[in-house]
């Protein structure tokens, strides 16, 4: 550890504390998950459903796309309703109508205000009272409620079964005509919807909040934010302010005097290595990155169009075979694949450099095998999604080979296992290059951090295998967010930080001391908020108040390091002036600058907008969430993967030079398109929905009546402008990569290299002075960091 001992112990302490919290309250999720009754019976003794039939309904819901068709507990797609909120509201209205006719002999709407208030009081008492008996594992409902359940189930049976009178509703919800053809499975699915609504309406303890902490907002039964929700929201804001203040003070008083910046070498040290066979083989990875990126972008446009023309594409009926739920599945899975491929390629490019410019034995063979395994998983999982959602695949195979039904981990379990094995194989390939360097003498702290992030990426994706097809939804959500939040937003962030530090150090642009200290400090900050911050996704997923408290408190700290990313962006930007050869990697550097900007805006500002419990109570399941998701997923990880791709391309095709006109189009049109997409369409729609959710309830903000009003349809059409601009940028960067991979000699150099004196007078120093400046302070990678 040496002089970094304090930083290492800080990181180790942070990880120990945060994973202890994540594990302890994870056990709490298991213990306190909403029970699935072994039997649901009516007051008169009729059996309505069982635990097995409810879980059968869960699997039926998974097979039609699950979270890609509407949402459950606020998690999923945004065009169709949130089925929990929608079912609950419909069942409540049915109960009130039945009660009005039974007690007053007239429809509910014809009652006086006093009579309606009396029935609403009875309604709240009936629905919030917990009639589940843990001793007998039985839930008893009144005969009136049993009839309300039956009426609501009939509506859903007709909606998913293709009844002609609901064709317009299906079009508004972007559903295919016969979404679930099997009668029995539709009946089971309605039972699963009932259970999610029961958990949202029933108090966990008498006089306390429901199993979902009073979410969704439903005035009919007084579902409103709890006192704890408000308290921990205030605490999260206070902690954010304190964290930012602490960071500023620490930055001012605790950091040591910066060393003199190293003088950049006259030539790029990375180019002093001969390309290894495994590095030369990475061209096909880069092609797959941009191929999947382009596919994802066009799929995204298709998905966006379905929000205004729910069953077709400019008059062409496409939903019969390519429905919204399938397009959205492919859109998200393509993003996960191409971004991950960009990161994996970056690691494989660095491995030989770390190994002293040599490939370990059979490294190229391993790189080739991993590539074709990746192709097999992509093709197999996409085909499985198609056959499952179109109900061609047998029901018992759907979860394993078709569609798991859970957002971001939609691929069938078989393909998920293969993907995990592929990532573990990548870890082995990486460690074969890293292990020898770790054994060399010298300062290995930066390399050790990079190695730890590689191991975490290789292993933590396996958390997605911790739940099964019939796992309680609350437990599943806990593990799903280990993948979506912890694996992606946590360990990939540390990997990116360490990888960039190692690259810049290897180039002789940043001293080893500064790179190591900054990377260790950044890792501690990211993990402090990021690990327990996973719980901010679980406020309303059947968890208890302590989970909300931990999630709200620590997720506020996630934003703290993002406030100084403007400084990081400036540091990355100014590197291009340190040496004339840096002009040749100007565009990868600009993409890294964009990463810092979108990390601040997309992950920081737009992320914290929905993080406090009181905000998320009204915003969960609205278009404010994809506003944050697009800005953070593409803005941060997308730009980062593209930056890695361009950087690798520059080195594995040394004769290629970026086309300035093409790259300007790519960079600025991608950024401008993303801004327009977010701020002229997604965010305005989300804000208007927020007003409806706060005043009427989530059911209304996601209803057909609300979403199809002219203003919101116009705003969704307006998104086309941003989408087209973004598509042009995507095609430009992809064409640059294709030209570089397959036609490197055809690339044109726009303008001569600027003279050294234009960038820094320091380049005129003698070779001896330069060598002295570099002595013991920079890492070329060849020696493992000790020279």
Nearest partner of 204 among 545, 439, 449, judged by Cα: 545
Q: Assess whether the previous peptide bond of 306 is cis (omega < 30° from 0).
A: no
Give yes or no for residue 171 having a pLDDT over 90. Answer: yes
Least confident range from 183-192, 469-478, 594-603: namely: 594-603
What lies within 8 Å, CB to CB, of 131 at 6+ separation is 139, 140, 141
490 pLDDT more than 60? yes
d(CA 187, CA 768) in angstroms, rounded, equals: 81
Residue pair 675/597 in contact (Cβ under 8 Å)? The answer is: no
Is residue 183 very low, low, confident or very high in pLDDT (cuts 50, 70, 90)?
Answer: very high
For 637-673, the pLDDT digits (tens) are 999 999 999 999 999 998 888 999 999 999 999 999 9
Best CA proximity match to 208, nearest among 490, 545, 674, 436: 545
pLDDT digits (tens, 9 = 90+) for 271-317: 766 899 999 999 999 999 999 999 999 999 999 999 999 999 998 99
214 or 4, which is more confident? 214
Note the pLDDT tens digit of each residue in 441-481. Answer: 888 898 999 999 999 999 999 999 999 999 999 999 999 99
CA distance 596 to 503: 17
Collapsing DSSP to helix, strand or coil, 309 comes out as coil
Distance CA 562, CA 205 (A): 39
Q: Which residue has the higher pLDDT, 757 or 593?
A: 593
Q: Does residue 409 surpass a pLDDT of 50? A: yes
Question: Taking 80 as the threshold, does the pLDDT of residue 100 lie above it?
Answer: yes
Question: Which pLDDT band, with edges at 50, 70 and 90, does 497 fall under?
Answer: confident
For the cut 80, the answer to whether the pLDDT of residue 572 exceeds it is: no
CA 300 – CA 673 distance, rounded (Å): 13
pLDDT > 80? residue 347:
yes
Counting residues of the chain whose pLDDT is more than 70, the rounded percentage is: 92
On average, the pLDDT of the chain sits at 90
pLDDT band, residue 257 (cuts 50/70/90): low
Query: What is the pTM for the complete model shown?
Result: 0.92
DSSP assignment string, 9-41: HHHHHHHHHHHHHHHHHHHHHHHHSPP--SEEE
pLDDT above 90 for 265: no
Structure tokens at 746: 């055809």
The reported pLDDT for the residue numbered 254 is 65
CA distance 378 to 292: 10
Q: Please count the other Cβ atoms lying within 10 Å of the Cβ belonging to residue 255.
A: 11
- Whole-angstrom Cα distance, residue 366 to residue 671? 36
The structure tokens 């047998």 sit at: 394
Residue in 217, 319, 142, 253 with CA at minimum distance from that of residue 619: 217
Q: What pLDDT sits at residue 256? A: 59
pLDDT recorded at residue 1: 60
* Structure-token pair, residue 295: 């596919």
Per-residue pLDDT at 785 exceeds 50: no
Evaluate if residue 727 carries a pLDDT over 90: yes
The burial class, CB within 10 Å (0-12 / 13-18 / 19+), for 653 is buried
- Residue 253 CB partners (closer than 8 Å, separation 6+): none
Element (H, E) at 313: strand 312-313
Spatial distance between the Cα atoms of 462 and 484, rounded to a whole number of angstroms: 12
Let me know: does 265 contact 779? Beta carbons within 8 Å.
no
Question: Measured between alpha carbons, how far apart are the two ends of the chain, in Å?
Answer: 17
The residues that bridge with 677 in the sheet, in sequence order, are: none
Whether 751 has a pLDDT exceeding 60, the answer reads no
More confident residue, 263 or 112: 112
The model's pLDDT over 67-98, given as tens digits with 9 standing for 90+, comes to 999 999 999 999 999 999 999 999 999 999 99
pLDDT band at 249 (very low <50, low <70, confident <90, very high): confident
Contact residues for 386 (Cβ-Cβ < 8 A; gap 6+): 326, 392
Task: Please determine, for residue 355, whether its predicted confidence score (pLDDT) is greater than 70.
Answer: yes
CA neighbours closer than 13 Å in the CB half-sphere of residue 184: 3
Residue 298: Cβ within 10 Å count = 17
- C-alpha Rg value of the chain to the nearest Å: 28
Least confident of 179-183, 539-543, 720-724, 769-773: 769-773
* Better-scored residue on pLDDT, 134 or 493: 134
Q: What is the pLDDT of residue 560?
A: 83
> Percentage of the chain surpassing pLDDT 90?
75
Quote the pLDDT of residue 745: 72
Higher pLDDT, 396 or 252: 396
CA distances from residue 10 to 4, 6, 267, 486, 524 in whole angstroms, order as listed: 10, 6, 37, 19, 7
Distance CA 128, CA 206 (A): 9
Closest CA to 498 of 691, 354, 661, 689: 354
Residue-level pLDDT at 746: 61
């Amino acid at each position: 550890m040496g002089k970094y001992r304090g930083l290492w112990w800080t990181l180790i302490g942070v990880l120990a504390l945060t994973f202890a919290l994540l594990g302890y309250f994870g056990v709490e999720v298991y213990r306190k998950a909403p029970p699935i009754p072994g039997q649901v019976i009516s007051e008169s003794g009729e059996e309505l459903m069982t635990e097995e039939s409810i879980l059968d309904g869960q699997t039926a819901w998974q097979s039609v796309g699950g979270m890609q068709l509407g949402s459950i507990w606020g998690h999923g797609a945004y065009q169709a309703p949130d089925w929990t909120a929608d079912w609950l509201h419909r069942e409540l209205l049915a109960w009130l109508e039945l009660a009005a006719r039974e007690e007053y002999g007239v429809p509910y709407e014809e009652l006086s205000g006093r009579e309606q208030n009396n029935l609403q009081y009875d309604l709240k008492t009936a629905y919030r009272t917990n009639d589940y008996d843990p001793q007998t594992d039985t839930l008893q409902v009144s005969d009136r409620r049993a009839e309300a359940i039956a009426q609501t189930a009939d509506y859903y049976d007709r909606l998913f079964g293709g009844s002609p009178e609901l064709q317009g509703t299906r079009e508004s919800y972007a559903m295919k005509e016969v979404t679930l053809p099997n009668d029995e499975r539709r009946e089971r699915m309605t039972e699963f919807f009932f259970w999610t609504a029961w958990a949202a309406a029933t108090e966990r303890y008498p006089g306390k909040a429901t199993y979902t902490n009073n979410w969704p907002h439903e005035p009919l039964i007084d579902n409103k934010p709890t006192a704890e929700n408000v308290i921990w929201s205030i605490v999260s804001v206070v902690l954010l302010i304190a964290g930012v203040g602490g960071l500023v003070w620490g930055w001012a008083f605790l950091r040591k005097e910066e060393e003199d910046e190293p003088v950049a070498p006259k030539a790029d040290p990375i180019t002093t290595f001969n390309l290894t066979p495994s590095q030369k083989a990475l061209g096909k990875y880069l092609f797959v990155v941009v191929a999947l990126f382009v596919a994802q972008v066009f799929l995204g446009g298709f998905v966006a169009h379905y929000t205004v023309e729910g069953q077709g594409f400019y008059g062409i009926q496409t939903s019969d075979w390519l429905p919204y739920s399938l397009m959205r599945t492919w859109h998200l899975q393509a993003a996960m694949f191409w971004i991950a491929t960009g990161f994996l390629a970056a690691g494989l490019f660095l491995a030989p450099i770390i190994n002293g410019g040599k490939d370990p034995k059979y490294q190229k063979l391993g790189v080739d095998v991993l590539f074709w395994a990746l192709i097999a998983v992509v093709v197999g999982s996409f085909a499985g999604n198609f056959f499952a959602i179109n109900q061609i695949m047998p029901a018992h195979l759907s979860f394993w080979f078709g569609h798991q039904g859970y957002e971001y981990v939609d691929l069938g379990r078989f393909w998920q296992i293969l993907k995990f094995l592929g990532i573990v194989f990548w870890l082995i390939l990486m460690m074969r290059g890293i292990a020898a360097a770790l054994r060399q003498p010298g300062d290995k702290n930066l390399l050790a951090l990079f190695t730890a992030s590689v191991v975490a990426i290789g292993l933590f994706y396996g958390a997605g295998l911790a739940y099964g097809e019939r796992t309680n939804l609350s437990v599943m959500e806990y593990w799903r967010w280990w993948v979506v939040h912890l694996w992606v937003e946590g360990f990939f962030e540390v990997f990116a930080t360490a990888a960039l530090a190692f690259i810049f150090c290897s180039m002789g642009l940043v001293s080893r001391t500064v790179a190591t200290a900054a990377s260790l400090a950044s890792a501690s900050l990211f993990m402090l908020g990021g690990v327990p911050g996973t719980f901010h996704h679980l406020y309303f997923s059947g968890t208890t108040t302590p989970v909300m408290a931990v999630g709200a408190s620590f997720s506020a700290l996630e934003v703290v390091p993002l406030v100084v990313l403007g400084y990081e962006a400036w540091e990355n930007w100014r590197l291009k002036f340190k040496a004339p050869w840096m002009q040749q990697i100007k565009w990868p550097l600009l993409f890294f600058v964009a990463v810092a900007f979108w990390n601040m805006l997309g992950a920081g500002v737009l992320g914290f907008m929905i993080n406090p419990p009181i905000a998320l109570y009204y915003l969960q399941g609205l278009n404010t969430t994809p506003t944050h998701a697009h800005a953070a997923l593409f803005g941060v990880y997308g730009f980062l993967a593209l930056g890695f791709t361009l950087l690798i391309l520059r080195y594995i095709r040394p004769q290629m030079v970026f086309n300035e006109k093409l790259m300007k189009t790519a960079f600025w049109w991608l950024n401008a398109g993303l801004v327009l997409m977010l701020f002229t369409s997604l965010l305005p729609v989300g804000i208007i929905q927020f007003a409806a959710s706060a005043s009427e309830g989530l059911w209304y903000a996601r209803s057909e009546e609300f979403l199809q009003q002219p203003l919101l349809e116009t705003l969704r059409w307006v998104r086309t402008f941003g989408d087209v601009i973004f598509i042009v940028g995507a095609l430009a960067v992809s064409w640059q990569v294709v030209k570089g991979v397959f036609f490197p000699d055809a690339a044109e150099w726009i303008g001569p290299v600027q003279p050294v004196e234009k960038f820094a007078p320091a380049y005129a120093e003698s070779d001896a002075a330069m060598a002295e400046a570099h002595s013991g302070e920079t890492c070329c990678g060849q020696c493992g960091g000790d020279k």
